Structure 1
Amino acid sequence: MAGIVVVFDFDKTIIDCDSDNWVVDGLGATDLFNQLLPTMPWNSLMDRMMKELHSQGKTIEDIVEVLKRTPIHPRIVPAIKAAHALGCDLRIVSDANLFFIETILKHLGLQEYFSEINTNPGYVDEEGRVRISPFCDFTNSPHGCSLCPPNMCKSVIIERIQASTEGRKRMIYLGDGVGDYCPSLKLKEGDFVMPRKNFPLFDKICQNPLALKAEIHEWTDGEELEHILLNLINTIVVEESAAAQFITTDCKLQTISVSGHEAFPKALPVQQ
């Protein structure tokens, strides 16, 4: 099992659009959405849009059919499956919602590949309507981060994942948006951040790349994402294997030295 946690954003990272906008546009509610957008928080607006669509006779099946048509680069699914096959722990940290994400992952046959999905709650109520609420109750329990939207600070989630792995696993974080900048700052030396090139996260990082401890590897599309991600995973696996072998060899050398024999010279590190 590779000691790697790979964290994916969802919208414009795994899929090639914003899932909320994709559903609203796909069901013909763009004008109302734009009219209400200045008047309420995003999650409240999406919940309201689901109510309006339900009142217009749109069903869960209608929403699911739109979600099944969500655009995705053809190399994303193989990349996720390959990372999982290499032993990585895959997780999603997204400002979308659970119903949309799970519906798309199920359609793509990817649900079982992720150990955890952190996102805004989304479910179907007893009336057959999708309900959407914020990840955190920003009215009563604000997260207090000035870099993030009020409903979600992704760095809180990243810090929890780091604590749960007790620093034993290295992390690769993939994202595109402004909300992915704060968690990128929480990554440690030996971690990697993969911002989508010419998207807000990439632009933000470029303003001061030295603010990040993680190594930065930008990507443009699913083909580059696959190539870079799998190369990073393989690099980490090789490094950790070499380190483990070096420790084992070093212990053996110390044993030989103690037993009265001259110790062998230490091996030089292999050039990567």
Structure 2
Amino acid sequence: MAGNIVVVFDFDKTIIDLDSDNWVLDELGFTDLFNQLLPTLPWNSLMDRMMGELHANGKTIEDIQEVLRRVPIHPRIVPALKSAHALGCDLRIVSDANLFFIETILEHLGIRECFSEINTNPGYVDDNGRLRILPYHDFHSSPHGCELCPPNMCKGKIIERIQASIAKEGKKRFIYLGDGIGDFCPSLKLKEADFMMPRKNFPVWDLICKNRMLVKAEIHEWTDGEDLEHVLLQLINSILNAEENLINSAQLLSTDCKFQTIPMSVQEALPQALSVPH
């Protein structure tokens, strides 16, 4: 059953076609300031600072939402997500964007309900109407300790948590889709029965190509939204067909075993039947 398939998506440059942080700052005219401050702060901390700059310059939450609703997305992505959800897959997001950006976009596209869980940096509107963006991992008080990932988020640890949380539900197979450097660490957490879908010619694809023996999962690359839809649904259907064949084989074996007991029963019954007087 597709309920045994967990599909984990990155968000920026995977579900949408670009980086949501850059998109908002570019569209609202704050790119230059962001570039000036970039050497001074970690990305996640800088985004919180930039939301303060937007607020101080009169940009409202509605302005940010309006920009997010115009974010480019390949026309085959939404149908792909809806198809995977309709098949019964458990869809989740693991992203280094933020909750406010992601939920605004998903709700606009009408696909928020497709996802059972969104793992990302907290993002909320405070009492002053200013958007706050916080780190997923508080790297000041409890650093995650992973050298592969940025200080605010280790996606590998998130995947391990998801794996542990659903272990009691039986065997699950993961499909992970991503594009960036931060998607390499979770690819190392996948098992041999899982699937990794790196976006071709993007950083995670380059890292996997250079460290192929470190990734246990089966690798299926993709290039754009149309390719993502084709590869993803093909993988889901292949898993479902394999499981159906396994069930059918088990049922056939069980039936054969029952048939094999019939001659023994007949043999046992024959002496009794022959001894009955006519």
TM-score range, shorter chain: over 0.9
- Structure 1 letter corresponding to 2:76: R
2:194 pairs with 1:201: no
- The whole-number CA distance in structure 2 between the counterparts of 1:102 and 1:248 is 44
Q: 2:175 aligns with which of 168, 172, 177?
A: 172
Name the TM-score, length of structure 1 as normaliser.
0.93
Q: 1:226 aligns with which of 223, 226, 229?
A: 229
Question: Which structure 2 residues correspond to residues 60-79 of structure 1 after superposition, within 5 A?
Answer: 60-79=61-80
- The whole-number CA distance in structure 2 between the counterparts of 1:116 and 1:133 is 18
Give the CA deviation at 1:169: 1.3
Question: Deviations for 1:125-159, whole angstroms, at most 9, x for unmatched residues?
Answer: 11111000000111111111111111111111111
Runs ≥4 in structure 1, deviation > 4 angstroms?
258-261
How many residue pairs end up in the alignment? 261
- The whole-number CA distance in structure 2 between the counterparts of 1:162 and 1:257 is 41
Runs of 5+ unmatched residues, structure 1: 262-272
- Structure 2 letter corresponding to 1:60: I
- The whole-number CA distance in structure 1 between the counterparts of 2:261 and 2:210 is 54
Segment of structure 1 superposing worse, 35-44 or 245-254: 245-254
Question: Deviations for 1:215-259, whole angstroms, at most 9, x for unmatched residues?
Answer: 111111000000000000000000011111212222333344355
Question: Deviations for 1:1-57, whole angstroms, at most 9, x for unmatched residues?
Answer: 511000000000000110001111111001110111110111111111000110100
Question: Deviations for 1:82-113, whole angstroms, at most 9, x for unmatched residues?
Answer: 00011100000000000000000011111010
Give the CA deviation at 1:164: 2.1
- Structure 1 letter corresponding to 2:256: L
Name the TM-score, length of structure 2 as normaliser.
0.91
Partner residue of 1:244? 247
- The whole-number CA distance in structure 2 between the counterparts of 1:38 and 1:251 is 66
- The whole-number CA distance in structure 1 between the counterparts of 2:164 and 2:243 is 20
Sequence identity percentage: 72
- The whole-number CA distance in structure 2 between the counterparts of 1:17 and 1:128 is 26
2:121 pairs with 1:98: no
SS in 2 for 1:173: strand
Which structure has the bigger radius of gyration? Answer: 2
2:74 pairs with 1:59: no
- Higher share in helix: 2
RMSD: 1.2
Question: Which structure 2 residues correspond to residues 111-260 of structure 1 after superposition, within 5 A?
Answer: 111-166=112-167, 168-258=171-261, 260=263
- Structure 2 letter corresponding to 1:79: A
